[in-house]
Amino acid sequence: MIGGGQLSRMTAQAAVALGQSLRVLAARADESAALVAADVQLGDHDDLAALTRVADGATVVTFDHEHVPTEHLRALEASGVRVAPGPGALIHAQDKLVLRRALAAAGEPQPAWTEASTVHEVTAFADDVGWPVVLKTPRGGYDGKGVFVIRGPDEAADVLERHGTLLVEERVDMVRELSAQVARSPFGQVAVWPVVETVQRDGVCAEVLAPAPDLPDVLATQAQELAVRVADRLGVVGMLAVELFQTTDGVLVNELAMRPHNSGHWTIEGSRTSQFEQHLRAVLDYPLGTTAMTAPVAVMANVLGGAASDEDWTGPGLDERVHHFMAHWPDVKLHWYGKTPRRGRKLGHVTALGQDVTEVRARAVAAARYLADGVVDDAFAFSHDHHPER
Amino acid sequence: MIGGGQLSRMTAQAAVALGQSLRVLAARADESAALVAADVQLGDHDDLAALTRVADGATVVTFDHEHVPTEHLRALEASGVRVAPGPGALIHAQDKLVLRRALAAAGEPQPAWTEASTVHEVTAFADDVGWPVVLKTPRGGYDGKGVFVIRGPDEAADVLERHGTLLVEERVDMVRELSAQVARSPFGQVAVWPVVETVQRDGVCAEVLAPAPDLPDVLATQAQELAVRVADRLGVVGMLAVELFQTTDGVLVNELAMRPHNSGHWTIEGSRTSQFEQHLRAVLDYPLGTTAMTAPVAVMANVLGGAASDEDWTGPGLDERVHHFMAHWPDVKLHWYGKTPRRGRKLGHVTALGQDVTEVRARAVAAARYLADGVVDDAFAFSHDHHPER
């Protein structure tokens, strides 16, 4: 697996049960996956020599991010290495303009968009759809980076000057964001999970509610079918997350990830087959596991570095917070990534299961917030009975 | 963790989520845990220098077996190393005579027993309880090894000559075998799982049914309270499995294991907190997780090396069997230990969850049998709908 982050870390964990040994290409020895995997090679994902070395003897090469250059993937394939997802599929998760063109050709629902390298092109588009518009760098963006909400020509000029040719999209008047995850094997078997709601804060995924609360069945099925069609059409092998905007009219495709994704961390406890196990099954061409949920509701909350990550923090230290977390929420599951705490960094996540989404969400969010900030939100935490699932 | 077997392997897997890095002392680089752990040291568990080296810088030293000599544990403790469980507790899982004496002093229910080094002592005991009697080597036995059912003085003489002083027990007229698992923290917090039935074949655990079917509540509670009392009295830190004989009168203690145990593998999917996570929480002195079950019934079946492990096997190979297994049982979870297949060897296990113990057991056993032997038992497998839990 190329990349040593938490996705690779949790994939290594899933590989243990399958009797597989995951080799990880990490940039540094202290990356999340490098701390726990048995077979770690250090090197850069854009260094073909490093990629060739890590691929040597591997059944298949897969990824925990989208940043490996297409020409390197083509070179690996040309030398007989199996790459999953293949470069022809992966490009749609790497380049937002390529994705928009492909979805347009397929007639799939997406925001109004155009390609622009001049202010004139942006304003002509905005004349149609109205300001503000959203400018996106076609490549390299994640967690809200490379995305600019632009209110007029001057702002557009500034962003274009810095970034060159951009994707321009209407700002969608959305109800909320959803994610539809599907796994696809080389053989074409697909497995789809319930559609989830993703709650973003400052452009970063903060919570995932599974299944998406109050999502009409017809819309859920529509989103799942869309994800399966996209996976098939693009020839995805492995996990595909289709990030969606829910509008009053239906759903629009925001972007794709072709790997395990933050919106699927809940599956570790919340589904019979986790996205990490499923990704391995798919890229190794094993039959896929059932995606049935293990409880009516699962909520995942990211632990994002907060006040307790600051150097001048004087509250309970991390280990003390983990103690308090475990004492107070014996039924909330922790996943810690082994990273040095820093403001806004994804340090770990927690998952809670239960019957009622309001209660389960309150529990997960309070637990994550306590781990991140060392403070207890009265509205959530200590006024609740936290064993309602029993 | 001292020992590189599957218990260590699955503990390493659980450590990932807790943000812990498990260092493993393995005898060989191809042992189960050595294949997946990031930090592996090679050495023998009875070599104090190796133990000292692996303990260097560790928060705590724990075990995947009971074979570390007491004097070495005392030496580690004397040099300031935290050992959990401590030698004073662990001795009761190492030496069956020490266990019998301790349980007698505590007034806990156990089979009639004595210590014998002569045929005369054995026959005197058998005159009381009747033949056959069971002779056990006090140390080193596992999976039925070191246990001898003796029908008369001649057989006793033979065993005594080979093994010296032995534990002699009545042969218990048992209904079935049970296991009561509990975790205990240094602080004295305990967490107890539902009592399970363990099904042995040829002295080796073959299946575990959770909870033990049709076990009267009063007896289940009695077994759980017994396990908690034993953990407290012996000062166990970490997991304790109390292996029990169920008789028409109640339960009798067979033996103890102070580590994750085969009878608790079902907890990975069947309980909110697995025995592996709980062992880590306990030895690291974190608060314990909830032991609530995730489904009404969980059944674990060991995959013991069978016909398909033979050199002259001409049926489907292991990888092909795993494919068929996954295709046919998408909801049965696999845990593979990475070992070279050999007759009778524990190669992995599978866990099935559901509502009805007969159906769940049939599913788990058929899946394990197919993986082990490459054959399908008509009575179980392909006549069932295998998604009854949905």
Q: Is residue B381 part of a domain?
A: no
Mutate to test the interface with B, among A18, A21, A35, A36 (most CBs of B within 10 A): A36
Q: Report which secondary-structure segment, H or E, holds A348.
A: strand A346-354
> Which of residues 329 through 348 in chain A touch B, CB cutoff 8 A?
330-331, 333-338, 348
Distance (Å, rounded) from C-alpha A264 to C-alpha A210? 9
Q: What share of chain A has pLDDT > 90, as a percent?
A: 88
A245 in the same domain as A230: yes
Checking if the pLDDT of A51 tops 70, the result is: yes
pLDDT tens-digit map of A237-290: 999 999 999 999 999 999 999 999 999 999 999 999 999 999 999 999 999 999
How many contacts, defined by CB atoms under 8 Å, are there between A and B? 113
Number of domains in chain B: 3
The pLDDT value recorded for residue B21 is 87
If asked whether residues B335 and B321 sit together in one domain, one would say yes
Length of chain A in residues, anyone? 390
Cα B92 from Cα A164, distance rounded (Å): 72
* Angle made by CA atoms B141, B142, B147, in degrees to the nearest 5: 55
For chain A, what percent of residues have pLDDT higher than 70? 95
> Given A36, A286, A292, which is nearest B390 (Cβ)?
A292
Is the model's pLDDT at A389 over the cut of 80?
no
* B315/A279 Cα distance (integer angstroms): 28
Partner-chain residue, chosen from A273, A326, A333, that has the shortest CB–CB distance to B287:
A326
A107 close to A233: Cβ distance less than 8 angstroms: no
pLDDT at residue A304, rounded to an integer:
95
What ipTM was assigned to the predicted interfaces of this complex? 0.93
Residues of A in contact with B18 (CB under 8 A): 334, 336
pLDDT of A363 > 60? The answer is yes
The answer to whether residues B219 and B76 belong to one domain is no
**Domain shared by A139 and A226, yes or no:** no
Neighbours of A184 (CB within 10 A): 30
Residues of B with CB below 8 A from A273's CB? 330
Helices (H), B48-197: 48-55, 70-78, 87-94, 96-106, 119-129, 153-163
The answer to whether the CB of A200 falls within 8 A of the CB of A47 is: no
Judged by CB atoms closer than 8 Å, whether chains meet at A36 and B21 is answered as yes
Residue B152 is assigned to a structural domain of this protein: yes
Contact B102, B91 (CB under 8 A): no
Residuewise pLDDT in 10s, chain B (390 residues): 999 999 999 999 999 999 998 999 999 999 999 999 999 999 999 999 999 999 999 999 999 999 999 999 999 999 999 999 999 999 999 999 999 999 999 999 999 999 999 999 999 999 999 999 999 999 976 666 889 999 999 999 999 999 989 999 999 999 999 999 999 999 899 999 999 999 999 889 999 999 999 999 999 999 999 999 999 999 999 999 999 999 999 999 999 999 999 999 999 999 999 999 999 999 999 999 999 999 999 999 999 998 888 888 988 899 999 999 999 999 999 999 999 999 999 999 999 999 999 999 999 999 999 999 888 765 444 434 444 443
Interface check for A294 against chain B (CB to CB < 8 A): the answer is yes
Q: Are A345 and A363 found together in one domain?
A: yes
Cα–Cα distance, A318 to A309 (Å, whole number): 9
- What is the Cα–Cα distance from B155 to B162, expressed in whole angstroms? 11
Q: What is the reported pLDDT for A145?
A: 79
* Residue from the list A272, A323, A390 with its beta carbon closest to the beta carbon of B331: A272
How far off is chain A from B190, nearest CA to CA, in Å?
A: 12
Q: Does residue B102 form part of some domain?
A: no
Cβ distance of B330 and A36 shorter than 8 Å: no
Q: Is the pTM of this model over 0.90?
A: yes
Q: Does residue B282 sit within a domain?
A: yes
Q: How would residue A380 be classed by pLDDT, with cut points 50, 70 and 90? A: very low
Task: Note whether B73 and B118 are same-domain residues.
Answer: no
Query: Cα separations (Å) of B72 from A175, B8, B76, B125, B186?
Result: 64, 20, 6, 35, 21
Q: What is the pLDDT of residue A377?
A: 64
Helix (H) or strand (E) holding B371: helix B357-373
Residues of chain B with Cβ-Cβ distance to A295 below 8 Å are 294
pLDDT reading at A390 higher than 70: no
Contact with chain B for residue A40, Cβ under 8 A: yes
Taking the Cβ of residue A367 and every Cβ of chain B, the question of whether any pair is shorter than 8 Å is answered with no
Nearest chain B CA: its distance from A190 CA (Å): 12
Instruction: Mark whether A285 and A142 lie in a shared domain.
Output: no
B209 phi-psi bin (left φ>0, alpha ψ -120 to 50, beta other) = beta
d(CA B198, CA B210): 9
Question: Which residue type is seen at B389?
Answer: E
In the DSSP assignment, the letter for residue A307 is G
Predicted pLDDT at A378 = 54
**The pLDDT value given to residue A311:** 87
Say whether A17 and B13 touch across the interface (CB within 8 A).
yes
Residue A385 in this model has a pLDDT that exceeds 90: no
User: What is the C-alpha separation between A49 and B95, in angstroms, rounded?
Assistant: 55
Residue B244 belongs to domain spanning: 176-373
- Looking at the structure, tell me whether residues B223 and B148 fall in a common domain: no
Q: How distant, in Å, are the alpha carbons of A75, A103, A154, B81, B86 from that of B43?
A: 42, 57, 68, 18, 21
Residue A104 lies in a domain: no
Q: Does B323 touch chain A (CB under 8 A)?
A: yes
Q: Does residue B382 belong to any structural domain of this protein?
A: no
User: Which of the four pLDDT bands, split at 50, 70 and 90, describes residue A307?
Assistant: confident
Q: Which residue of B has its CA nearest to A14?
A: B13
To which H or E segment does residue B167 belong?
A: strand B166-170
Which chain A residues are Cβ-neighbours of B17 within 8 angstroms?
A: 13, 333-336
pLDDT band at A309 (very low <50, low <70, confident <90, very high): confident
Return the SS3 of A127. Answer: helix
Name the region of B144 (left: φ>0; alpha: ψ -120 to 50; beta: rest): left
B46 and B117: one domain?
A: no
In a domain, residue B388? The reply is no
Residues B277 and B243 in one domain: yes
User: What are the tens digits of pLDDT across the range A336-355?
Assistant: 999 999 999 999 999 999 99
pLDDT of residue A65: 95
